[in-house]
Chain A
């Protein structure tokens, strides 16, 4: 604002000339100079005060924002939270069709647990279980969609995708780690006197879904909808305790890394054909390393041979021979 200081500027210029020419300064000029100096000094002090106050306000606002962000982040999956904060994800009703891998899990007999346990104990148990499961989900890059009581819904492929195969594989590996972790949780709670064992069922399906912000302009929910979600949920309810049941679509993505055994077909509402299911058995490299154990999953053949579990060797030979005869 040079205009605002033009008067002071002209006084400075006059003063410079007089000093250069070694002119005498008369008292009235000196008084004017002093007045301008006092004014500038006052302005300077005021602006410094304003700047300090603004800085203080900014720092208070920043710390409130940081505090709020930390609280807010607990309500979102980190992938969603980051996408919101970087502006990649718009806060408006917006959806897209995408190939996702959907995971569902549920605790067997949880309803009975809720009736048997005191609410405080139930809260502690649920918090423990969900915290541990979430940690695993986040480590494997999953987007936690929601918790519905003891049920967990997670998906892979949005807002960040590592590729269809990696997304599906990471999802299955997450589920496998969850099953292992659940054994530890089960032991801890058994020690605490929990009469019923904690057993989880898990279902995974890979398919085209609609993902994004659903709801109204005032209340949005970042989630997934579609037949794929129903299918993953149906796989979960068909899984045996502490096992992972996956659809053929997921199996085709993960079969080079994960051994699976062919399971029954299931009928799902909204899907016209019977869905072939597979039970997750373990990692490919893990199983071939074991002595007396071999597992292969190739189109047309599901083979898992574990010598340690064989009770009737003759029967096993007979079944393998029958299978070989079929090939001839």
Chain B
């Protein structure tokens, strides 16, 4: 599969999918005007990956600073997909949040409750 690299915009996050190293990154802010249009191809790509690469272990990194309601819904769907993937392979999820951002920390904790088949790690970072 071809790697995917989407640069961040004011309203959409940076997205990097490196299929060779099975590394997936979502970073920045997410409040696209048409979240369906923006995320549909991305979700489809992950779905395709989950069907093709049945045994590879993968790492999903989230370093989000803000997301709106429709992006939250996408995230929930995404975690559902990732958790399903974890049923038959090793999956790591890293949820990075700024040490002063309680909201992102709480959402990370919240999302981690839904994860049964992957290793969900909350990681705080500072400005340094």
Interface on A for B, CB 8 Å cutoff?
A: 1-4, 42-43, 46-47, 49-51, 53-54, 57
Query: What's the minimum C-beta distance from B24 to chain A, rounded to whole angstroms?
Result: 18
Which of the residues B36, B103, B110 comes within 8 Å of A3, measured between beta carbons?
B36
Query: What's the minimum C-beta distance from A233 to chain B, rounded to whole angstroms?
Result: 46
Determine if B110 and A1 form an interchain contact, defined as CB atoms under 8 angstroms apart.
no
Inter-chain contacts of B68 with A (CB < 8 A): 50, 54
Inter-chain contacts of A57 with B (CB < 8 A): 103
Determine if A1 and B72 form an interchain contact, defined as CB atoms under 8 angstroms apart.
no
Interface on B for A, CB 8 Å cutoff?
A: 35-36, 39-40, 67-70, 72-74, 76-77, 103, 106-107, 110, 114
C-alpha gap A60/B117 in the complex (Å): 38
Determine if B107 and A4 form an interchain contact, defined as CB atoms under 8 angstroms apart.
no
Which of the residues B69, B73, B110 comes within 8 Å of A4, measured between beta carbons?
B73
Determine if A1 and B73 form an interchain contact, defined as CB atoms under 8 angstroms apart.
yes
Q: Which 10 A-B pairs have the closest CB atoms?
A: A4-B77, A47-B69, A53-B103, A1-B36, A50-B72, A1-B73, A50-B69, A4-B73, A1-B70, A43-B76
Determine if B103 and A47 form an interchain contact, defined as CB atoms under 8 angstroms apart.
no
Determine if A46 and B76 form an interchain contact, defined as CB atoms under 8 angstroms apart.
yes
Some 27 contacts from A to B, beta carbons below 8 A apart, are: A1-B35, A1-B36, A1-B70, A1-B73, A1-B74, A1-B77, A2-B36, A3-B36, A3-B40, A4-B73, A4-B74, A42-B114, A43-B73, A43-B76, A46-B76, A46-B110, A47-B69, A47-B72, A47-B73, A49-B110, A50-B67, A50-B69, A50-B72, A50-B107, A53-B103, A54-B68, A57-B103
Q: Majority SS of interface residues in chain A?
A: helix
Inter-chain contacts of A50 with B (CB < 8 A): 67-69, 72, 107
Determine if A46 and B35 form an interchain contact, defined as CB atoms under 8 angstroms apart.
no
Query: What's the minimum C-beta distance from A39 to chain B, rounded to whole angstroms?
Result: 9
Known: A1-B74, A4-B73, A47-B72. 16 other contacts (CB 8 A): A1-B35, A1-B36, A1-B39, A1-B73, A1-B77, A42-B114, A43-B76, A47-B69, A47-B73, A49-B110, A50-B67, A50-B107, A51-B69, A53-B103, A54-B68, A57-B103
Among A4, A46, A47, which residue has the most Cβ atoms of chain B within 10 A? Answer: A4
